């Protein structure tokens, strides 16, 4: 069920640089060839987020990148112009621990990320429901430093610029469908 509503573009996209991604704050679109992608945040080489399996706290970025490369699922990394303090990161971890696994469009993987980013970037997180809306907010506020990709060459738009990438947008029905499908997949895998 991959209903594409329209497309959004990312500019100045470069091939992934693993060493650079170990530092700073990165918005990561995992399984980026899939609609919708899974959204997490990496801070100084550690990954945070929420999924149908539960919260991600201090997952090593290196392992996530190795998995993405091995599975060829595509990855987009967007470096952000922000530097969370240790106290802000601890508060974020505490908020993540309060979350239940993703169950529906009312509590997606994007939800904790957009609330965290709203501490640093002036925007209304209640008006951001999809990652392409968040990326637009980040671009409008000049909050993006770099964009890297892994295995997303088939998304490049060569007519406009060799470094422009076209990504599909989507609606709530796609998110709800994919959350239900993922939960079913993981439930069946755990029965084995």
If you search the block for the tokens 């069920």, which residue do you land on?
A: 1
pLDDT per residue as tens digits for the range 16-34: 888 999 999 999 999 988 8
Query: Nearest 5°: phi and psi at 174?
Result: -70, -45
pLDDT per residue as tens digits for the range 35-75: 889 999 999 999 999 998 899 999 999 999 999 889 888 99
Mean pLDDT across the stretch 115-144? 92
Q: Which of 81, 64, 74, 80 is closest to 149 using CA atoms?
A: 74
Given a contact cutoff of 8 angstroms between Cβ atoms, the answer to whether 24 and 76 are in contact is no
Q: Which of 128, 166, 115 is closest to 6 using CA atoms?
A: 166
Quick one: pLDDT at residue 1?
45
Given a contact cutoff of 8 angstroms between Cβ atoms, the answer to whether 62 and 45 are in contact is yes
Given a contact cutoff of 8 angstroms between Cβ atoms, the answer to whether 40 and 134 are in contact is no
Residue 42 three-state SS: strand
């Amino acid at each position: 069920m991959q209903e594409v509503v329209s497309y959004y573009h990312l500019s100045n996209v470069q091939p992934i640089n693993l060493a650079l991604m170990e530092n700073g704050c990165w918005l990561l679109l995992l399984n980026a060839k899939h609609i919708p992608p899974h959204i997490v945040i990496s801070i100084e080489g550690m990954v945070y987020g929420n999924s149908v399996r539960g919260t991600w706290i201090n997952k090593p970025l290196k392992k996530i990148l190795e998995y993405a490369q091995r599975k060829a699922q595509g990855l987009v990394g967007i470096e952000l112009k922000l530097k969370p303090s240790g106290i802000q990161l601890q508060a974020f971890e505490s908020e993540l621990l309060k979350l239940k696994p993703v169950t529906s469009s009312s509590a997606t993987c994007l939800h904790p990320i957009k609330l965290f980013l709203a501490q640093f970037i002036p925007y209304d997180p209640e008006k951001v429901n999809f990652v392409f809306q968040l990326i637009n907010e980040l671009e409008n506020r000049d909050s993006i430093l770099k964009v890297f990709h892994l295995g997303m060459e088939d998304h490049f738009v060569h007519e406009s610029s060799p470094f422009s990438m076209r990504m599909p947008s989507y609606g709530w029905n796609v998110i709800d469908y994919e959350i239900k499908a993922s939960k079913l997949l993981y439930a069946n895998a755990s029965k084995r």
